[in-house]
A and B are shown apart, each in its own frame.
Chain A
């Protein structure tokens, strides 16, 4: 399913752990040992307090639909209309995502609905964290 038209991210040293985790089917966050905040996107220090005492941890993968648009403009590797969303992870940080396994309509995409992480393989190196409606929970 490697799609040559999709934009493939290129990891940097500071983000490599995130993309290695995604390839292994894990959503990884970093957490500050000093102020205890979890944060995203990845970097080698805490953006809340500046501490370098940070650890990589596996996120629960649970999130809620925070905001989105349903894009009707053409985009390489995508079939419009499709949702571009921001999800809020259970741990606090927010990240961009598409919403998979769900009709791309305002009726189906309800703000605050529970979501769970899944991974979309873009290449041998890169699997993209994506979210879909949580299974076994009321939408």
Chain B
């Protein structure tokens, strides 16, 4: 890709976040899509490319009244939207379409109009993991962590600090689900979910959605909002089952996706002013910081515990409060992208002053896949 060849010209979340008993899954897609199009000053007639995950992309397009000439149904978990951005850049650069709408909607809490129990079913999972009583992300995504604690020195207190620091960021956001300050003791004393993981180390389960509108950079100045350019992108995939992850202390998908994003953007780590790392659970920002190369192996937990990612720190991370405090519908990646866009537009309630580059990193499944997007507000 060419850096900054494509811009995000519309971005919005659903009108409500949290508990939304009036909209089913597809209704959340549509609400977010219409909000994002309004943000861009466009209508459904202007869209010729549609991408979504966790839902039939054709159904989403048809529901909105769009008959697209480009469609991407890549569904590799919660990072699918980062991957869609990458695929959209390729499609827009190639002239396959002119205006791409990426949608997310998920009734994670109210469970209205949901698809099946798994967004990415896997054969190996059904034969070699499910018989052992794995039932949900809290008791499978967490499986590698004890190994990392022993090998890399990660501690329970450091994991607790991830939740504490992100709650500090959430306090800035009126739309965040949880905004009251918490302490390490609060986290460690919260209900045990899957030892060593307590409730406050696990993401929320809420309803919501979000959408993005992308077009080529040459058109970007015609829109009402400040264009946010896609400076770099990456994606990667490793395994559908967490038990077969090669290195329990490091994600191969993260490393590949991050390396590609930095290379395509042509930036160094010191250029990143703002960082989002998908945090379904407290260990993910630790893996993310290490695998993206912001710190060395085994240094991520201490980096967060020392306060470098908190408000006023040198690397603001998960400034919406993340999946731990802002919202988490199930496929959280869209909300990380939304906060990246807000930061680049200069309109986040937790605005990082003068931020020019935001890196947004997602995970899909249980370390199954990854997508990374580098955003910039300078062409």
Report B223-256 residues with CB < 8 Å from chain A CB. Answer: 241, 243-244, 248
Assuming the A-B contacts A70-B194, A77-B133, are A9 and B139 also in contact, with contact meaning beta carbons closer than 8 angstroms in the complex?
Answer: no
Q: What CA separation (Å) do A96 and B140 show in the bound complex?
A: 10
Q: What CA separation (Å) do A81 and B194 show in the bound complex?
A: 8
Say yes or no for A1: interface residue by CB 8 A criterion.
no
Say yes or no for A102: interface residue by CB 8 A criterion.
no
Say yes or no for A15: interface residue by CB 8 A criterion.
yes
Q: What CA separation (Å) do A72 and B143 show in the bound complex?
A: 13
Evaluate contact between A97 and B132: CB separation under 8 angstroms.
yes
Evaluate contact between A106 and B133: CB separation under 8 angstroms.
no
Say yes or no for A51: interface residue by CB 8 A criterion.
no
Say yes or no for A35: interface residue by CB 8 A criterion.
no
Evaluate contact between B133 and A82: CB separation under 8 angstroms.
yes
Say yes or no for B219: interface residue by CB 8 A criterion.
no
What is the distance, in angstroms, from B135's C-beta to the closest C-beta of chain A?
Answer: 5
Evaluate contact between B133 and A75: CB separation under 8 angstroms.
yes
Evaluate contact between A8 and B248: CB separation under 8 angstroms.
no
Evaluate contact between B126 and A9: CB separation under 8 angstroms.
yes
Nearest residue in A to B151 (C-beta to C-beta)? A111
Evaluate contact between B123 and A12: CB separation under 8 angstroms.
yes
**How many of chain B's residues touch chain A, expressed as a range?**
20 to 34
Say yes or no for B142: interface residue by CB 8 A criterion.
yes
Evaluate contact between B139 and A15: CB separation under 8 angstroms.
no
Nearest residue in B to A7 (C-beta to C-beta)? B130
Say yes or no for B124: interface residue by CB 8 A criterion.
yes
Q: What CA separation (Å) do A71 and B195 show in the bound complex?
A: 7
Q: Specify which chain A residues have a CB less than 8 angstroms from the CB of B244 in the assembled complex.
A: 41, 94
The residue in A8, A12, A72, A82 that gathers the most chain B C-beta atoms within 10 A of its C-beta is A72
Say yes or no for B129: interface residue by CB 8 A criterion.
yes
Q: What CA separation (Å) do A62 and B284 show in the bound complex?
A: 32
Residue in B127, B145, B194 whose CB lies within 8 Å of A11: B127
Evaluate contact between B127 and A41: CB separation under 8 angstroms.
yes
Report B125-164 residues with CB < 8 Å from chain A CB. Answer: 126-136, 138-140, 142-147, 150
Assuming the A-B contacts A41-B128, A67-B145, A96-B128, are A73 and B136 also in contact, with contact meaning beta carbons closer than 8 angstroms in the complex?
Answer: yes
Beyond A41-B124, A73-B194, A96-B132, 15 additional contacts (C-beta under 8 Å) are A6-B131, A69-B145, A70-B195, A72-B193, A72-B195, A73-B135, A75-B135, A84-B134, A84-B194, A86-B147, A95-B243, A96-B128, A98-B132, A106-B195, A111-B150
Task: Spell out B's residues near A (CB within 8 Å).
Answer: 123-124, 126-136, 138-140, 142-147, 150, 191-197, 241, 243-244, 248
Q: 6 tightest CB-CB pairs across the interface, nearest first? A: A67-B147, A70-B195, A69-B194, A9-B127, A71-B139, A78-B133
